[in-house]
Structure 1
Amino acid sequence: MGRILALDYGSKRTGIAITDELQLIASGLTTVATSDLMDFLKKYIHTEKVELVLVGEPKQKDGTPSTIEEQIQLFLKKFSEVFPDLSVKRIDERYTSKMAFQTMIDSGLKKKQRQNKALVDEISATIILQEFLYNR
């Protein structure tokens, strides 16, 4: 069984989370500059068996696509060209950033640590992945 990888795609940074090989536990992996994302994924997917990639689907409160959706579509097109045999699913990611920030507060991180936007992105990707695992 391969791992499931989740992406919280952003214009500057992308948070990445991954499951264990049994697909039971979601863990934050890292945050990378979005400009370096494809290179990171090529290396990671070459060394680890990934079965499925989840990509957050940002929406407005009314359900309409977020402004970054156009960039995500371009990324997905390139991703499918580079990894034609890898399945991709979109997951509604509304409120994951707020949940990630609340998780940081609940875990006792100091204010300075909570300002680390890369950590928020990584936690958001983990929440996307946990939601998928819980609801499948």
Structure 2
Amino acid sequence: MRILAIDYGLKRTGIAVTDELQMIASGLSTVESPRAIAFLRDYFAKEKVGEVLVGEPRQMNGLPSESTPIIEAFVAKFREAFPEMKLVRVDERFTSKMAFNSMIAGGLKKKQRQNKALIDEISATILLQDYLLQKNNLK
């Protein structure tokens, strides 16, 4: 079964998924946030997903960030749409910055690094890869 990670945002939602063996995290897609539940419904109908990670935004001091109410509203909709799905909240404090830095390290041009949809998808992938490392005690 796969693990899926969601980097939910006001406009766009980055989505990443593992392989069946839960060893490798890969970017899956970026969707418009209002379409996220419909996208997930379609994906869950085709693929076996055992758990879903949703980023939990926090400020540097650990307090909830200003985007917390938006994400909490999405989590409520998710739980309503998929009551049987295991949902795990994970700290996402540094994922956007790490995504941007990985784009630089990967040699992407400035124009490509301005693609916010790509940043969201990479952020979800980083969130998922970090979770896999922690889960497998590799960190």
TM-score over 0.5 for the pair: yes
- Compute the displacement of 1:59 (Å): 0.5
Unaligned runs of 5+ in 2: none
2:17 maps to 18
Task: State whether structure 2 residue 111 is matched by structure 1 residue 112.
Answer: yes
The residue that corresponds to 2:84 in the other structure is: 85
Q: Quote the residue 1:134 is aligned against.
A: 133
2:49 equivalent in structure 1? 50
Three-state SS of the structure 2 residue aligned to 1:11 is: coil
Give ranges in structure 1 of 5+ residues lacking alignment: none
Compute the displacement of 1:66 (Å): 1.0
Paired AA for residue 11 in structure 2:
K
Deviations 1:2-27 (A, max 9, x none): 10000011000010000000100000
- 2:96 corresponds to which residue? 97
TM-score, with structure 2 as normaliser: 0.95
Q: Could you tell which deviates more after superposition, 75-84 or 38-47? A: 75-84
Per-residue deviation at 1:65? 0.5
Confirm or deny that 1:64 pairs with 2:44: no
Instruction: Kindly report the root-mean-square deviation, in angstroms, between the aligned alpha carbons of the 2 structures.
Output: 0.6
Match in the other structure for 1:27? 26
| Rounded Cα–Cα distance in structure 2 between residues aligned with 1:43 and 1:115 | 29
Aligned-partner Cα distance in 1 for 2:93–2:9: 13
TM-score (normalised: structure 1): 0.97
Q: CA deviation at 1:73?
A: 1.2
Deviation of residue 78 (structure 1)?
A: 1.4
After TM superposition, the runs of 4+ consecutive aligned structure 1 residues lying more than 3 A away are none
The separation in 2 between residues aligned to 1:78 and 1:90, in whole angstroms, is 15
Tell me, in whole angstroms, the C-alpha distance in 2 between the residues paired with 1:123 and 1:75.
Answer: 20
